[in-house]
């Protein structure tokens, strides 16, 4: 294809945005013609495309030049709140305690262990590793050493063998989420290179300590095969254990908590199927727990002589059943915990001594637990673990020991840093193991968080979580409006829970309010909340966010000239759709790795992961109603002649989830149609993928750029 010329260079202080010349590209669907004048930007290997992205980056830097000093200040603030030399709380498994630590000035973590017999006070141990480790410490993997001079480095596999003698680890050096893997002898520290390349996430060791299972992706980066490998044998001799041919499904592999079975899971967005192999007999042919049934999801844990299964079979908000190990099919499922229509069971933790439920109700999260023995309850009811703040979040911690009588869980709110607790399940005693330390003059009593509600046009009440600095006066009309960042996601049943961010303090301390709109399409209010924000009902997501924005303005929390909308990935689609529909509500938009060319992508099954996405967005190639719905909201298709606020979109050149060209094309169309003069910017990370920069310092610099942009467009850069 012959690509058009474009303005491919931006000189210092040039405030003229790059122009990608339009080239006619048409496609016909359902009697309509879609016109995509910037389709040529999808030529990833083209020098013209690379030059255009570089010119966009230069232009963005020129526009942000007035806040260059502020960016350095913000970076220093973010960095200054973080304890750079730190360590995680050790996790014990058998005779070893595993942990990771960081050192000041280094981008990546150091993975270590020490014998359980050397357990000591956490504070004194942390002081010791702040130097060069301890006499009993073994460094398993120093990511800084392995990264070397790589622009990008990410560990996607880290799996210690059951006998604790070997480590399977894998690294991605481009951001495309494909890993080269090695086996490290933990006695010698030497790597065994058996030629394992192009692996995906997921692995599981057999109990023999010599055999492991791994996952390979297909050409679309869909994890679709599980292979068996034996240490020291050529990869050419590996055996294919399972291949998933249905393009809607991804595969994964893992070992259950009591080390009885290897689980091979195959899952689409709405359907699950699990096969098992005895961990002590890794050459065994996999057998099914339950055959896939469209729309039926399940997960399984093993205890005693049965499986404990969490499923939505005949239970929209999920129920818990048990099944005999020998014949675990649905015909033998016995209900253990019935569905509660007001409570979504989002996860289980199964141990020998207790069953723990992680649940969602009323827009919040909770943990309940109950003692049992051999899979039978030994007391009358579940006990809820109380939490100190109503607007907060709890989540499961690492609990690898099946026989443990304790439970680790995490807790945070928008004013309380992430905290790790240890609960004694017999006495009920709770111990704070660690809370993220925030350096500097942080005092959480200076900040207030609360839950409010906005009403969507169809009458649905939408929860909103807010945090602000209290000493700035009252929030709302009585105290005067404040600058505000509104964040939302609203897809995949993913919940954007209210948690703490130390980087966010740089805005709060400058008078900002930070708000989260818990829009439909997410999972905050149960399964129906998710269903009401997908397929033909996707518009509800955008209507909810617009309703929250209006409520924040109408109640005097903020004003349209100081309200910034922020979202990423599918949240970038949200931001793009919302700003098309209600641009007058915002002074700015930040859309990270933005899924803004949704219709063209979902119409093209040759694009990575498109087919797997049909169960989230619908299949517009086969269903006209889905095509009409997507065409009505897809951000790229709905850019129109109107005054847009300032917009900063980001992408990653090696992103395999949201291709870099989606924000690149969107930005061009926005500039073509806006009737305003607010800057519309694109920043593409040319060395990263969906998750952005891999090193922590570069990630902090990226956040400083975004915060500086927010301060610039709200007029608070001084």
Q: How does pLDDT run across 232-266, given as a tens digit for each residue?
A: 899 999 999 999 999 999 999 999 999 999 999 99
pLDDT band at residue 8, thresholds of 50, 70 and 90? very low
Gap between the Cα atoms of 8 and 56, Å rounded: 8
Checking if the pLDDT of 11 tops 60, the result is no
Task: Average the pLDDT over 674-687 and give the result.
Answer: 96
Q: Could you tell me the two tokens for 372?
A: 């049992």
Find the helix packing angle between 624-633 and 539-554, rounded to 10°. Answer: 30
Radius of gyration of the chain (CA): 26
Q: Could you tell me the two tokens for 460?
A: 């649905």
> What are 545-564's pLDDT values in tens digits?
999 999 999 999 999 999 99
Checking if the pLDDT of 403 tops 70, the result is yes
* Contacting residues for 707 by C-beta, under 8 A, at least 6 apart: 74, 503, 506, 507
Checking if the pLDDT of 122 tops 60, the result is no
Gap between the Cα atoms of 78 and 511, Å rounded: 17
Identified catalytic residue from 86, 655, 685, 694: 655
pLDDT for the residue 518: 98
pLDDT for the residue 6: 47
Residue 337: CB atoms within 10 A of its CB come to 21
Higher-confidence position of 694 and 56 = 56
pLDDT for the residue 297: 98
Residue 304: CB atoms within 10 A of its CB come to 16
Judged on CB neighbours under 10 Å (0-12, 13-18, 19+), 453 is middle
pLDDT for the residue 13: 61
pLDDT band at residue 134, thresholds of 50, 70 and 90? low
Task: Average the pLDDT over 650-667 and give the result.
Answer: 95
Residue 338: CB atoms within 10 A of its CB come to 9
Q: Could you tell me the two tokens for 456?
A: 């969507």
* CB-CB contact of 214 with 181 (8 Å): yes
Q: Could you tell me the two tokens for 486?
A: 């509104």
| Annotated catalytic residue 655 | yes
Identified catalytic residue from 86, 685, 690, 694: 690
Gap between the Cα atoms of 293 and 278, Å rounded: 24
Beta strands 223-230 and 239-243, pairing class: antiparallel
How far, in Å, are 48, 241, 593, 609, 630 from residue 219 at the CA level?
Answer: 25, 19, 21, 10, 26
pLDDT for the residue 117: 72
* Contacting residues for 332 by C-beta, under 8 A, at least 6 apart: 323, 324
Sign of the dihedral defined by the CA atoms of residues 635, 639, 645, 649, in that order: positive
Find the helix packing angle between 68-80 and 696-713, rounded to 10°. Answer: 130
* CB-CB contact of 534 with 616 (8 Å): yes
Reduced DSSP (H G I as helix, E B as strand, rest coil) percent helix, strand, coil of the chain, to 5 = 25, 35, 40
Task: Average the pLDDT over 395-403 and give the result.
Answer: 95
In degrees and rounded to multiples of 5, residue 37 shows phi and psi of: -70, -15
Provide the percentage of residues in the chain whose pLDDT is more than 70.
Answer: 95
Gap between the Cα atoms of 290 and 328, Å rounded: 7
> What are 458-483's pLDDT values in tens digits?
999 999 999 999 987 788 876 678 99
Q: How far apart are the first and last CA of the chain?
A: 48
Q: Could you tell me the two tokens for 330?
A: 């649905």
The DSSP annotation for 64-127 comes to TGGGHHHHHHHHHHHHHTB-SSEEPPPEEETTEEEEEEE-TT-SS-EEEEEEGGG---HHHHHH
Identified catalytic residue from 465, 569, 634, 646: 569
Gap between the Cα atoms of 136 and 540, Å rounded: 56
pLDDT for the residue 717: 74
Task: Average the pLDDT over 315-337 and give the result.
Answer: 97
Q: Which residue has the tokens 């999801």?
A: 297
* CB-CB contact of 130 with 101 (8 Å): no
Model pTM? Answer: 0.93
Helix (H) or strand (E) holding 633: helix 624-633
Residue whose C-alpha is closest to residue 404's, from 21, 80, 93? 93
Residue whose C-alpha is closest to residue 666's, from 678, 687, 688, 649? 649
> What are 271-294's pLDDT values in tens digits?
999 999 999 999 999 999 999 999
* Contacting residues for 155 by C-beta, under 8 A, at least 6 apart: 141, 143, 169, 170, 171
* CB-CB contact of 626 with 536 (8 Å): yes
Residue whose C-alpha is closest to residue 241's, from 270, 202, 209, 193? 202
Gap between the Cα atoms of 611 and 614, Å rounded: 5
Checking if the pLDDT of 501 tops 50, the result is yes
pLDDT for the residue 380: 86
Gap between the Cα atoms of 532 and 656, Å rounded: 28
pLDDT for the residue 128: 54
pLDDT band at residue 716, thresholds of 50, 70 and 90? confident
Gap between the Cα atoms of 350 and 375, Å rounded: 9
Average pLDDT across the chain, whole number = 93
Gap between the Cα atoms of 184 and 231, Å rounded: 10
**b/e code 497-530 from CB counts within 10 Å (16+ = b):** bbbbbbbbbbbbebbbbbbbbbbbbbbbbbbebb
| Annotated catalytic residue 92 | no
Gap between the Cα atoms of 281 and 300, Å rounded: 19
Q: Report all structural domains of the chain as residue ranges with CATH numbers, in order of start.
A: 29-79+441-713 (3.40.50.1820), 297-437 (2.130.10.120)
Checking if the pLDDT of 136 tops 90, the result is no
> What are 594-634's pLDDT values in tens digits?
999 999 999 999 988 899 999 999 999 999 999 999 999 99
Task: Average the pLDDT over 215-231 and give the result.
Answer: 96
Beta strands 484-488 and 513-517, pairing class: parallel
Gap between the Cα atoms of 638 and 577, Å rounded: 8
**b/e code 103-135 from CB counts within 10 Å (16+ = b):** beebbbbbbbbbeeeeeeeeeebbebbeeeebe
Checking if the pLDDT of 118 tops 60, the result is no
* CB-CB contact of 558 with 480 (8 Å): no
| Annotated catalytic residue 690 | yes
Judged on CB neighbours under 10 Å (0-12, 13-18, 19+), 261 is buried
Task: Average the pLDDT over 183-195 and give the result.
Answer: 94
């Amino acid at each position: 294809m012959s690509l058009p010329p474009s303005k491919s260079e931006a000189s210092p202080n040039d405030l003229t945005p790059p122009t990608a010349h339009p080239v006619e590209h048409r496609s016909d669907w359902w009697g309509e013609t879609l016109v995509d004048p910037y389709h040529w930007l999808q030529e990833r290997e083209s020098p013209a495309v690379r030059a255009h992205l570089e010119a966009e980056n230069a232009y963005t830097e020129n526009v942000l030049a007035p806040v260059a000093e502020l960016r350095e200040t913000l970076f220093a603030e973010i960095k200054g709140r973080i304890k750079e030399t730190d360590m995680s709380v050790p996790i014990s498994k058998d005779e070893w305690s595993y942990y990771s630590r960081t050192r000041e000035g280094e981008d990546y973590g150091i993975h270590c262990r020490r014998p359980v017999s050397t357990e000591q006070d956490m504070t004194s141990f942390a002081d010791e590793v702040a130097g060069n480790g301890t006499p009993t410490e073994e460094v398993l993997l120093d990511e800084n050493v392995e990264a070397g001079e790589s622009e990008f480095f990410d560990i996607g596999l880290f799996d210690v063998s059951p006998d604790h003698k070997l480590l399977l680890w894998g690294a991605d050096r481009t951001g495309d989420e494909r890993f080269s893997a090695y086996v490290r002898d933990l006695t010698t520290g030497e790597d065994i290179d058996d030629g394992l390349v192009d692996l995906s996430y997921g692995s599981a060791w057999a109990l023999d300590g010599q055999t492991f299972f791994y996952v390979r992706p297909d050409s679309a980066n869909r994890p679709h095969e599980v292979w068996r490998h034996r240490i020291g044998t050529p990869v050419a001799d590996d055996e294919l254990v399972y291949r998933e041919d249905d393009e809607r499904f991804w595969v994964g592999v893992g070992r259950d908590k009591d080390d009885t079975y290897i689980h091979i899971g195959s899952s689409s967005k709405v359907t699950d199927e699990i096969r098992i192999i005895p961990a002590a007999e890794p050459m065994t042919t996999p057998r099914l727990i339950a055959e896939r049934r469209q729309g039926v999801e399940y997960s399984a844990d093993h205890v005693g002589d049965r499986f404990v299964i969490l499923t939505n079979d005949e239970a929209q908000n999920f129920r818990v059943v048990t099944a005999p190990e020998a014949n675990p099919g649905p015909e033998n499922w016995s209900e253990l915990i019935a569905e509660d229509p007001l409570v979504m069971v989002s996860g289980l933790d199964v141990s020998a001594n207790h069953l723990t439920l992680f649940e969602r109700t009323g827009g919040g999260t909770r943990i309940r637990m109950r003692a049992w023995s051999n899979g039978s309850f030994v007391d009358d009811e579940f006990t809820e673990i109380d939490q100190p703040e109503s607007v907060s979040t709890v989540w499961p911690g690492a609990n690898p020991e099946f026989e443990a009588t304790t439970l680790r869980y995490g807790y945070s709110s928008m004013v309380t840093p992430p905290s790790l607790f240890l609960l004694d399940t017999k006495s009920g005693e709770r111990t704070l193991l660690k809370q993220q330390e925030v350096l500097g003059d942080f005092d959480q009593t200076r900040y207030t968080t609360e839950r409010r509600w906005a009403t969507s046009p169809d009458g649905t009440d939408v929860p909103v979580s807010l945090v602000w600095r209290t000493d700035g006066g009252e929030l709302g009309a009585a105290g005067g409006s404040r600058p505000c960042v509104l964040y939302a996601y609203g897809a995949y049943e993913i919940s954007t829970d209210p948690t703490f961010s130390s980087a966010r303090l740089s805005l709060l301390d400058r008078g900002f309010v930070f708000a989260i709109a818990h829009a439909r399409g997410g999972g905050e209010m149960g399964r129906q909340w998710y269903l009401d924000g997908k397929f033909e009902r996707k518009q509800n997501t955008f209507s909810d966010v617009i309703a929250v924005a209006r409520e924040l303005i109408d109640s005097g929390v903020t004003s349209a000239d100081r309200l910034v909308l922020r979202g990423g990935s599918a949240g970038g689609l949200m931001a793009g759709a919302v700003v098309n529909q209600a641009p007058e509500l915002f002074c700015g938009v930040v859309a990270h790795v933005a899924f803004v060319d949704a219709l063209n992508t979902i119409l093209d099954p040759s694009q990575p992961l498109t087919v797997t996405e049909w169960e989230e967005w619908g299949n517009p190639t086969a269903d006209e109603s889905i095509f009409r719905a997507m065409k009505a909201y897809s951000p790229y298709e709905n850019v129109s002649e109107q005054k847009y606020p300032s917009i900063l979109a980001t992408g990653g050149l090696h992103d395999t989830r949201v291709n870099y060209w989606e924000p690149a094309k969107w930005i061009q169309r926005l500039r073509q149609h806006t009737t305003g003069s607010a800057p519309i910017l694109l920043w593409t990370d040319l060395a990263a993928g969906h998750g952005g920069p891999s090193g922590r310092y570069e990630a902090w610099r990226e956040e400083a750029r975004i915060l500086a942009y927010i301060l610039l467009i709200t007029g608070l850069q001084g």
